Amino acid sequence: MTKKQFFGFLGILMLVLLTLACKSQPPETEPESLVAPPETTAPVEEVSQALLNSLNDARSRAEAARQEAQSVNGPVYFPQEWEQADGSFTRTGSSVNTGNARSVQDAIASYNSLTTAFEDIVRRSLPLFAEAKQEEVFIARQAAIDAGAFEFSPGRFYIADEKGEEVSRRIEAEDYRDAIDAAEVALNYYTSLKLGADAYMLRGAILDDDLAHYDQRNFDLAEESGLKALNAYDDGDIAAVMVVVEEALNRYTQVWKTAWRSIASERRDIASVERRAALNVKANVAVKDEYESAESIYSQAGTKFQSEEFEDAAELYTRSSSLFTAAWENAEYKRQIADYAIRAAEQKVAESDQTAREAELILEEGEEE
């Protein structure tokens, strides 16, 4: 067998084997479609009433801590920490799903964490706030001194000082909550003393100016309230003091206001009479500058009266009255001077006429001779 024949035979053999191999392959089948298994959801855990109660308790604790932080100026002293905690508090309240146990549990955890955050703000703010309240006590004490409370009643002032010293003792002991409470008490004592001193000074002014009769009823009631305030202070009933001492001051103020309204009205009437007198003699023309000055003050008095500044109004009406009087007197004086000048001129004219007639008579007699 030649070489060419050998390769030809080998090619035919390979073709036969390839054909047999293809016939032995199993028929192709359609691929099975992949069907997704039905979705299954995990069962939702039921929210029990106990869990909801825990949520409410956690929220209440966080809210209480939040309010205390506000009460001691926490947002002022620590604004960044406050904004973070307060924002989280709001978000927790708005996002909790009370129908989902997991959401409720997350909210409880958040509220508990916020309670700690707010309490930390409180803890850090307390000493600062206590010192600020102590400063308020110092200011109130000085205001009471300036009002004359010490001179008015030194014994009662010493009682207030004892309350003020309690604030310092509590701060030194780092008992800040009690220091804040003590400061509130001391503030009430000093404030009541200042109000009492104000009422006492106003009462003295009313008596000095003899104004009580303008509103005798309120004056008598103010006297009763003032006595009650003193008795309550001596009994340590500072809450009652604050009520009755303010009532006494208000009634004395009403007496003062009523009196000066009446006085201002009386002086306005007097000024109006003088103003009319000035116009009658044409002072607005004869002494224009004087009249306009009086008119300006008279107008200012009216403005004060309308705004119920009766003391100022009364003073201005008095000033304008005097100026109107001076204006019409000067105008009248000028008129009299003018009248005198006119009469003098007329007299001179009359005298000249008489002289002329006498001269004519003399001339006539001379001609006859």
Q: Which residues of 152-165 are buried (b: 16+ CB within 10 A; e: fewer)?
A: bbeebbeebeebbe
Kindly tell me the sign of the dihedral angle through the C-alpha atoms of 271, 277, 279, 281. negative
Determine contact, residues 242/191, Cβ cutoff 8 Å: yes
Cα separation, 100 vs 266, in Å, equals 79
**In the chain, where the domains are located:** 49-124, 130-256, 262-348
Q: What pLDDT is stored for residue 237 in this prediction?
A: 95
pLDDT in tens, 103-156: 999 999 999 999 999 999 999 999 999 999 999 999 999 999 999 999 999 999
pLDDT in tens, 48-66: 999 999 999 999 999 999 9
Q: Which helix (H) or strand (E) holds 244?
A: helix 238-280
Residue 277 amino acid letter:
A
Q: Which helix (H) or strand (E) holds 45?
A: none
Confidence of residue 24 (pLDDT cuts 50, 70, 90): very low
Give me the numbers of helices (H) and strands (E) for the chain, helices first please.
13, 0
- Kindly calculate the radius of gyration of the chain based on its CA atoms and give it in whole angstroms: 52
Determine contact, residues 198/256, Cβ cutoff 8 Å: no
At CA 156, angle to CA 155 and CA 162, rounded to 5? 95
